């Protein structure tokens, strides 16, 4: 497929208007802080983004379609009262393996980008920047974490195979982490951190939807209001 045919249509999520409202409130609060040096914006929290189960989904039933009918999520998206919106996207070959990439999730991630410093936290590592900007219109050259090649059960000092790399990268910064495979050790690690930390789980067949984006937006607003 040529580059011209790789992009999928990114529809503006309904909640994006709230991002503009949040941006305005954030700027006003920043101006009111006497201790904030002129010209220095407050540091954005990190948003650590998994790919499989967040942007690359499992289980679409309508192979090759622009809108996939997927299995129901455990929780409905905010405001949908159990009627789930369809997930838009398309299949692409990543190193010869078909992946259903969600343009719905990509649109939500683009809406969150002004309020977070995005970091890939996925086994895709550098391949995220090789494929996702071209296929989903996401920012190019985002930072990404590298994981020990020997990672597996019992090989991480903190439990979950991603935690050592995340802990080393984040330091004492505020962070949110969205992933479809968070476990008890992730929540224990988050609870023990002294900096604000939010873990957001996804249903791997739906990925990043309005529900998860709204959770992240509300959390960012609570940090901006401090």
- pLDDT at residue 34, as a whole number: 33
Q: Where are the domains of the chain?
A: 42-224
Who contacts 106 (Cβ-Cβ below 8 Å, separation ≥6)?
Answer: 8, 10, 55, 132, 136, 137, 138
- pLDDT at residue 126, as a whole number: 97
- pLDDT at residue 226, as a whole number: 75
- pLDDT at residue 6, as a whole number: 45
- pLDDT at residue 11, as a whole number: 53
Query: Which among 49, 13, 46 is positioned nearest to 180, based on CA atoms?
Result: 49
- pLDDT at residue 94, as a whole number: 96
Angle at 112 between CA 99 and CA 190, to 5 degrees: 85
pLDDT in tens, 31-90: 333 344 445 567 999 999 999 999 999 975 543 444 444 333 333 333 344 567 889 999
- pLDDT at residue 171, as a whole number: 97
Angle between helix axes 16-32 and 103-112 (nearest 10 degrees) is 20
CATH topology of domain 42-224: Rossmann fold (3.40.50)
Q: Give the residues of the chain that fall short of pLDDT 50.
A: 1-8, 19-20, 22-38, 62-81, 151, 153-154
């Amino acid at each position: 497929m040529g580059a011209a045919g790789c992009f999928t249509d990114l529809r503006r999520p309904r909640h994006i208007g709230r991002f503009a409202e949040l941006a305005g409130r954030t700027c006003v609060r920043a101006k009111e802080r006497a201790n904030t040096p002129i010209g220095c914006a407050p540091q954005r929290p990190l948003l650590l983004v998994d790919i499989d189960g967040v942007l690359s989904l499992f289980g679409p039933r309508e192979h090759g379609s622009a809108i996939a009918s997927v299995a129901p999520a455990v929780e409905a998206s905010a405001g949908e009262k159990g009627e789930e919106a369809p997930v838009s996207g398309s299949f692409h070959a990543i190193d010869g393996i078909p992946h259903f990439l969600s343009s719905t999730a990509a649109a939500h991630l683009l809406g969150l980008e002004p309020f977070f410093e995005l970091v890939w936290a996925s086994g895709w590592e550098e391949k995220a920047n090789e494929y996702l900007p071209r296929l989903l219109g996401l920012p190019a050259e985002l930072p990404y974490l590298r994981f020990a090649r020997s990672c597996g059960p019992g090989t991480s000092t903190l439990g979950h195979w991603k935690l050592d790399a995340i802990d080393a990268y984040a330091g004492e910064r505020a962070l949110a982490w969205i992933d479809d495979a968070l476990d008890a050790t992730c929540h224990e690690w988050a609870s023990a951190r002294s900096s604000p930390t939010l873990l957001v789980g996804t249903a791997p067949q739906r990925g990043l939807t309005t529900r998860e984006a709204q959770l992240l937006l509300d959390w960012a607003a609570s940090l901006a209001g401090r």
